[in-house]
Chain A
Amino acid sequence: MGAPMRAAVRAEFLKFFTTRLWWGMAIAVFVAGAAFAVLFAILFTSDSLAGSAGGPGGLPTGDALQIANSVYTGGLSVGYLLLLSIGVLQIGSEYRHKTITSTFLSVPRRVRAMVAKVIALLGIAAAYGVLSLVASVSVGALVLNLRGAEAFPSAEILRTLALSLLVLGLWALIGLGLGILIPNQVAALMIGVGVAWIIEPLAGLAIKASEFGRESIAPLMPSEATAAVINTVLASPDDVRLSWWAGALALAGWATLVAVPGIWRTVRQDIT
């Protein structure tokens, strides 16, 4: 990274940490990480699930590794929505408050300015990811131990923890793209969170109604791909799941699909 790019990235980090958004988000990420870890650690070690391979009564199913993964990454279900919001706000507030003018005056090479935003966003996502994991692993491991379950069944957990940072980064990039493509910041936030949280999972259920949809389309959906990357428990034993790297590629594909047109538009448009 050359000096101008480093300076541009530094400015982006400074932008993020000089408004009150960051610590509000930090508290939310930390609390979500801890709360979901406790919830999942209790839920997944309850008698009806423990040692069962078949998932009776429609309960989520998984082995010790998947249970630990789910506990430690439970906060991600909220965390990726928060990072999606941060992505929307990072660019949305620049348009809303017209600070995009001074951004492009200080870094007139717009591709550089936007790449700096992407790099900063990935860094911010990683930092929040670490914060979330500190909460979820410390609290989750404690509860799993108390319940007599294995807190660290295999080293593969480390891969999951590392990949959860990547997942957050990719969701932040989806937010960045949405923040550009939907010019109204509030609309972008509501549409982004609404789709990711409610509509997309419902659409996933609808797609699973057909054999082809269940096997070929549903696994590629953003939320399913996210679950594949961090290898959590399965919602249903019939679900088809991608391997972690294919899930990562699928999620990266979604991020590219939204962020690249958004960035391209910002680079081209008149800033009036």
Chain B
Amino acid sequence: MPTGSRIEITSLTKRFGSFVAVDDLSFAVDPGRITGFLGPNGAGKTTTLRMLLGLVHPTSGTATIAGQNYRDLPDPLRGVGAALEATNFHPGRSGRDHLRVLAAAAGIGDSRVDELLELTGIPAFANRRAGNYSMGMRQRLALAAALLGDPQVLILDEPANGLDPEGIRWLRGFLRHLSGEQGKTILISSHLLAEVEQTVDDVIIIANGVLVRQGTMAELRAGGGAIVRTSDPRALVGALAERHIAGTVEADDVGEMVLAESTNLRAVGEIAHAAGLPVWELSTKAADLEELFLDLTGGTNRNLGEGAA
């Protein structure tokens, strides 16, 4: 598999009976970046990942890695590492043996298994039965399993779930290393934006099986628009409106300000200058990510809706 394997989801749809789990979903995931695949529980994230990995048959559309279906990869574990659910271990089998089974199927030696147990920080527990593992241990074991073949593409479903703050920090550093220095393609899903917002470069947000937002984390953060303080806020709103930028006058404890619905600070500043208004402050309004996430995905959660009915 060539360096820089791209994940491409094209018009992917999955119906279970009359229930549409994933609805005409399209997006791409680029190498060398960490992409967050976000949405509330039941949004269709896991179904999408399972279609990408050949476990669930799409009703229509395609999901490919480096242009190939997962099923057609000549050496799947060396191309793609996946950790789907951290609970999928035989409780009577030790963590080390779980890895040995997977390694055997891919023709990988036991020395690589021990290397990964070391790397993910679980050698002390490796020979204990996995049924006794804590959630954090399972996550590390699942990650070790995904990394067995040193794959170019990593697909991790809720990898931070059940990790303590130190574990999340460790995971972040680890994934940064894999994407930044090794140029791997990393796709991680989460139902909590806050859990991954410091980790991911790009975000794909889905709700009810439909794509609702795609872009870089920086774009998402800047989504709040621009804050301008000037001598005559109302005049500036008028000037902005002439250039098709919506603005409102709001007040905080400092005084009145204009909230412009644009993240192009240069354009906003030039409009103020042309209108002869002195600019006292011009800054990006950081989006309230949690609010934004709920706006994008909330209120329409079909699972909650059914439960409440």
B188 at the binding interface (Cβ < 8 Å): no
Decide: A11 near B104, CB < 8 A? Known: A18-B97, A97-B91, A272-B50: yes
Within 8 A of B (CB), among A69-122: 93, 97-99, 101-109
B152 at the binding interface (Cβ < 8 Å): no
- Chain B, residues 26-67, CB within 8 Å of chain A (1/0): the string is 000000000000000000000100100111110000000000
A47 at the binding interface (Cβ < 8 Å): no
A270 at the binding interface (Cβ < 8 Å): yes
Decide: A270 near B107, CB < 8 A? Known: A18-B93, A19-B92, A108-B71: no
B309 at the binding interface (Cβ < 8 Å): no
- Residues of A near B102 (CB, < 8 A) are 11, 102, 106
In contact, A14 and B107 (Cβ under 8 angstroms): no
Of the candidate stretches A2-10, A170-178, A251-259, the one touching chain B is: A2-10
The CA of A3 and the CA of B74, in the complex, are separated in Å by 12
In contact, B90 and A104 (Cβ under 8 angstroms): no
In contact, B50 and A93 (Cβ under 8 angstroms): no
In contact, B82 and A14 (Cβ under 8 angstroms): no
- Chain A, residues 1-38, CB within 8 Å of chain B (1/0): the string is 00100011011001100111100000000000000000
In contact, B84 and A7 (Cβ under 8 angstroms): no
In contact, B76 and A108 (Cβ under 8 angstroms): yes
Count chain A residues whose beta carbon lies closer than 8 angstroms to a beta carbon of B: 27
- Residues of A near B93 (CB, < 8 A) are 15, 18-19
In contact, B55 and A18 (Cβ under 8 angstroms): no
In contact, A7 and B92 (Cβ under 8 angstroms): no
| Choice from A20, A97, A106, A271 contacting B105 with Cβ under 8 Å | A106
- Residues of B near A14 (CB, < 8 A) are 97, 100-101, 104
The CA of A103 and the CA of B82, in the complex, are separated in Å by 12
The CA of A19 and the CA of B90, in the complex, are separated in Å by 9
In contact, A108 and B97 (Cβ under 8 angstroms): no
Closest CB-CB distance, A101 to chain B, in whole Å?
Answer: 5
The CA of A11 and the CA of B110, in the complex, are separated in Å by 12
In contact, B97 and A7 (Cβ under 8 angstroms): no
Query: What bracket does the count of chain B residues touching chain A fall in?
Result: 20 to 34
In contact, B56 and A270 (Cβ under 8 angstroms): yes
In contact, B54 and A106 (Cβ under 8 angstroms): no
In contact, B145 and A102 (Cβ under 8 angstroms): yes
- Residues of B near A104 (CB, < 8 A) are 54-55
CB closest residue in chain A, given B75: A4
B7 at the binding interface (Cβ < 8 Å): no
Within 8 A of B (CB), among A256-272: 270-272
In contact, B101 and A11 (Cβ under 8 angstroms): yes
B125 at the binding interface (Cβ < 8 Å): no
B218 at the binding interface (Cβ < 8 Å): no
- Residues of A near B104 (CB, < 8 A) are 7, 10-11, 14
In contact, A97 and B101 (Cβ under 8 angstroms): no
In contact, A3 and B107 (Cβ under 8 angstroms): yes
- Chain B, residues 272-289, CB within 8 Å of chain A (1/0): the string is 000000000000000000
Q: Of B76, B90, B91, B107, which is in contact with the most chain A CB atoms at under 10 Å from its CB?
A: B90
A–B Cβ pairs within 8 angstroms, 26 of them: A7-B104, A7-B105, A7-B106, A10-B105, A11-B104, A11-B105, A14-B104, A15-B93, A18-B94, A18-B101, A19-B92, A19-B93, A93-B90, A97-B89, A98-B87, A99-B88, A99-B89, A102-B98, A105-B53, A105-B76, A105-B82, A108-B54, A108-B76, A109-B71, A270-B56, A271-B55
Lowest 3 CB-CB distances: which A-B pairs, in order?
A: A11-B105, A106-B105, A18-B97
